[in-house]
Amino acid sequence: MDTIFNEFGVAMTRRNGYELAQTLNPELSDDMLRLVYKTANHASIKDLLKRHIRANTQHLPHVDLDEIQMWVDVFHCYWKTCGELLAIQDRSPKASWVKVYEAWKELFSALHRGYMSPKVELPAWTIPCLYIVGKYLRVFAMNADEERSNNPNQETTETNFQDDLDMEADKFVWLRDCGVQLNRMFTLCLNDRANLMESRKWGIYNVANLLFKTYFKVKSPDLCKNVLRAIIAGRGDMPPFEAIPKSQRVIFKYYQGVLEFLDENYPQAEEHLTEAWNLCHKDALRNKELILTYLIPCHLVTTAKLPSAKLLEPYPRLQQLFLPLCGAIKKGELHAFDLALQEGEDEFVKRRIYLTLERGRDIALRNLCRRVFLAGGFEPPKEENAQPLRRTRVPLDEFVAAIRLGSQEKLDSDEVECLLANQIYKGFMKGYISRPHNMVVLSKSGAFPPTGV
């Protein structure tokens, strides 16, 4: 306990928010947890805390009685949380993550009062405390949900009459509540009217990121849009984005990108994801992998380009995910493409990239048509030394044969014509279909626009 309050005093003196937040870190070793909790009992804890906090802040004249009382409340909740955590470590029959969550939520309320109360007006440099509170609020809520799904019988009496409720929605009771709390935290930061340098607005990105994670986890990503809207509406009166620590910027840009991706706004998605990629710490492999999971399908749609071997090299999981598709696209093997898509379907759907990847089939088809064109070779030269010209009038039958070969399906020529018309319409192929001659007449200059032929 002494250590905690020594550190508390030092952090208060230095006005160092991150150090201060560390004194509220609930992730302690078993011994520490026991030590903290056993220093006092329910009757004595408040007096003890008051003595400690007073002793370590008495040299700070601006810390008045109201603020001391607020910190006593906060650390009282901290102590209760430690007790509940200890019960879990000791596998006590009364232990429950719900109790941990509730105790921690109370801590947040005490802190919230500290910011809102005109008597205390906790200064903005302390907002890292909110970060740590928000972080563990989520962790504890997820554990409480997990515990709930592991012991479905415990609450039957309570939930019996709600049987018709969606079971899926039921899985995240505590995390949803956590979303409400985090939203309160977000508002607390957003609505601070203090001058920008001393404003809690510096906290909005961190809290927004916690909200994004939470809303994605409870499968309501659309709720993130309210958060984004609030930030965009307040623009001009916000800390400049470049001044926010990179870790927060990367996470924010990642979720912003994924949200655009889910709305199929690929150019915007690519912009945000690329920014996240560029800012990301070079050694944060897992996060880089996550960014690429969306950036690769995005890039495929916006530029028809594939990831290079060098890019995928450090990520066996991404190789497994994308390489079969990439190979099929390159070779124009429609059948292999369909198989690869089918093979990865579960993963693709889970990551919400299936529909985007499906668009790769058009590119595979483009490459197949391109191969038909290349296989056609050159026209016999009309005069000597003339530049050889590719054969641009290709019998429809050749495409029919190639597409049947590639897709291993018995398509009739009408269907193939339709596929080709689509390619022309989408700009993958330049030319027209001459029905009277059963010919596809391709452009003499750049029949397959960006591919050099």
Site for another protein in 70-89 (CB under 8 A): 85, 88-89
Which positions from 277 through 296 interact with another protein, judged by CB under 8 A?
277-284, 286-288, 290, 293
**Cα gap 363→207, rounded to integer Å:** 40
Which positions from 358 through 417 interact with another protein, judged by CB under 8 A?
363, 366-367, 370-372, 374-375, 377, 397-398, 400-402, 404-405
Least spacing, CB of residue 69 vs another protein, in Å:
24
Least spacing, CB of residue 443 vs another protein, in Å:
17
Nearest-CA neighbor of 112 among 37, 187, 3, 13?
A: 187
Least spacing, CB of residue 322 vs another protein, in Å:
12
**Cα gap 287→280, rounded to integer Å:** 8
Least spacing, CB of residue 250 vs another protein, in Å:
7
**Cα gap 14→32, rounded to integer Å:** 25
Which positions from 144 through 173 interact with another protein, judged by CB under 8 A?
146-147
Region from 107-115, 177-185, 229-237, 307-315 binding another protein, contact rule CB under 8 A: 307-315
Which of 6, 220, 268, 274 lies at the binding interface for another protein (CB under 8 A)? Answer: 274
**Cα gap 176→183, rounded to integer Å:** 11
Look at strands 431-434 and 393-395 and give their pairing: unpaired
Enumerate the β-bridge partners of residue 433: 440
349 binds another protein (CB under 8 A): no
Q: C-alpha distances in angstroms, 245 versus 240, 252, 255, 287, 290?
A: 11, 11, 16, 16, 20
How is residue 357 written in tokens? 């990847």
Least spacing, CB of residue 350 vs another protein, in Å:
6
- CB nearer to another protein: pick between 93 and 118: 93
Which positions from 206 through 235 interact with another protein, judged by CB under 8 A?
209, 213, 216-217
Place of tokens 């897992």: 286
**Cα gap 53→71, rounded to integer Å:** 8
53 binds another protein (CB under 8 A): no
Q: What is the residue type of 209?
A: N
- CB nearer to another protein: pick between 37 and 140: 140
Which of 57, 96, 126, 143 lies at the binding interface for another protein (CB under 8 A)? Answer: 143
Least spacing, CB of residue 32 vs another protein, in Å:
5
- CB nearer to another protein: pick between 69 and 95: 95
Enumerate the β-bridge partners of residue 394: 440
- C-beta of residue 187 within 8 angstroms of C-beta of residue 226: no
Least spacing, CB of residue 288 vs another protein, in Å:
7
Region from 50-58, 157-165, 197-205, 272-280 binding another protein, contact rule CB under 8 A: 272-280
Alpha-helical segments (H) within 120-265: 128-150, 156-159, 167-170, 173-190, 204-217, 224-233, 246-262
How is residue 331 written in tokens? 């070779």
- CB nearer to another protein: pick between 165 and 401: 401
How is residue 203 written in tokens? 């906290």
307 binds another protein (CB under 8 A): yes
303 binds another protein (CB under 8 A): yes
Look at strands 439-442 and 393-395 and give their pairing: antiparallel
N-to-C CA span, the chain: 75
- CB nearer to another protein: pick between 120 and 218: 218
Which of 20, 190, 208, 329 lies at the binding interface for another protein (CB under 8 A)? Answer: 329
Coil, strand or helix at 442: strand
Region from 26-34, 44-52, 177-185, 194-202 binding another protein, contact rule CB under 8 A: 26-34
Which positions from 103 through 142 interact with another protein, judged by CB under 8 A?
135-136, 139-140, 142
Question: Could you say which DSSP state residue 393 is in?
Answer: E
